[in-house]
Chain A
């Protein structure tokens, strides 16, 4: 899932200052799961903004709506009337959703209410961790399902740096040494021989470093 965090209220408030009628548009998928942009968060932000502007003696009218996924046109269309009624849209979707809205509603002012951070998992209640950097060339089969591109602070592909201590990364004791995890897991799986494979320098062209990417499925193009 995509993990995002709501922008500070002060920053959102300044973005909305020129407007009197705003649609706060949530997304019911990834950002709902990470408590950033679902229905509850839309309602909270609406109330917080009305209260915050009231302190300045200003009245802001907010309309609140959440669609299933802001990155898909079929769902975005449901917001068309609400978009037309408001001066600006504060999107609580990830960056993809905000841009999908901008693409669909070319004349609408789109404002991002979230900072999109990473692709990750819910490790335990309240804790989301980064797992995938979208490098475009997955080699998790070699590494026992643990990605050194994302989870090794140094992006090392051929073993640990030697700086870890008690299984923790030398960059921060809050970070587990990815290579310790990889070695432990490969050992558990009986795949320690994977460590003998030499992984050449990574070709970053399939990643964002190679420019914005596209995926075309001809069998689905009509």
Chain B
């Protein structure tokens, strides 16, 4: 994707429908989005889908947003959380 804000909500749900246990959306480092506020839009979209995942019963913790420079930490945290959850299927 040219920008994290191009990730539509439906792509995230489709990932879980296809069997993903967890998903991370990665955007530009804070304050450095080439498209001005694409990262802000992406983060808000992720927050909304996390809430929806809670309503679905899968759990919003399976979805994370991270900036590129913090991806390693975020991925490690997500993997740890997924270990405490049942499979997404």
B13 A47 Cβ-Cβ under 8 A: yes
> Using an 8 Å CB-CB cutoff, how does the interface string of B40-61 with A read, 1 for contact, 0 for none?
0000000000001001111000
Interface size grouping (class) on chain A? 10 to 19
Which B residues between 1 and 31 are near A, CB-CB below 8 angstroms?
8-10, 13-14, 16-17
The reply to whether A51 and B58 contact each other, CB–CB distance below 8 Å, is: yes
On whether A51 and B16 interact (CB within 8 A), knowing A8-B55, A9-B52, A10-B55, the answer reads yes
Q: Which residues of A contact B13 (CB under 8 A)?
A: 44, 47-48, 51
Q: CB within 8 Å of B: which of A23-64? A: 40, 43-44, 47-48, 50-52, 54-55
Q: How far is the CA of A50 from the CA of B16 in the complex (A)?
A: 11
On whether the beta carbons of B17 and A52 are closer than 8 Å, the reply is: no
A9 touches B55 (CB 8 A): yes
Min CB–CB distance B19 → chain A (angstroms): 11
| Residues of chain A contacted by B52 (CB below 8 angstroms) | 9, 44, 48
Give the bracket for the number of chain B residues in contact with chain A. 10 to 19
- Residues of chain A lying within 8 A (CB to CB) of residue B17: 47, 50-51
Residues on B with beta carbons closer than 8 Å to the beta carbon of A10:
55
**Closest approach, in angstroms, between the C-beta of B4 and any C-beta of chain A?**
17
Which of B16, B55, B57 has the largest number of chain A CB atoms within 10 A?
Answer: B57
Residue numbers in A under 8 Å from B14 (CB-CB): 47
Contact A55 B8 (CB under 8 A): no
CA distance A141 to B86 in the complex (A): 62
* Alpha-carbon separation in the docked complex, A55 to B88 (Å): 9
Q: How far is the CB of A77 from chain B (nearest CB, A)?
A: 27
Indicate if the CB atoms of A55 and B58 lie closer than 8 Å.
yes
Q: Which listed residue (A9, A40, A54) contacts B9, Cβ 8 A?
A: A40
State the CA gap A43–B12 with chains docked (Å): 12
Check A40 against B8 for contact (C-beta < 8 Å): yes
Binding site for A on B (CB under 8 A): 8-10, 13-14, 16-17, 52, 55-58, 89
Q: Identify 12 residue pairs between A and B in the complex whose beta-carbon atoms are under 8 Å apart, listed by A's number.
A: A8-B55, A10-B55, A40-B9, A40-B10, A44-B9, A47-B10, A48-B52, A48-B55, A52-B55, A54-B89, A55-B56, A55-B58
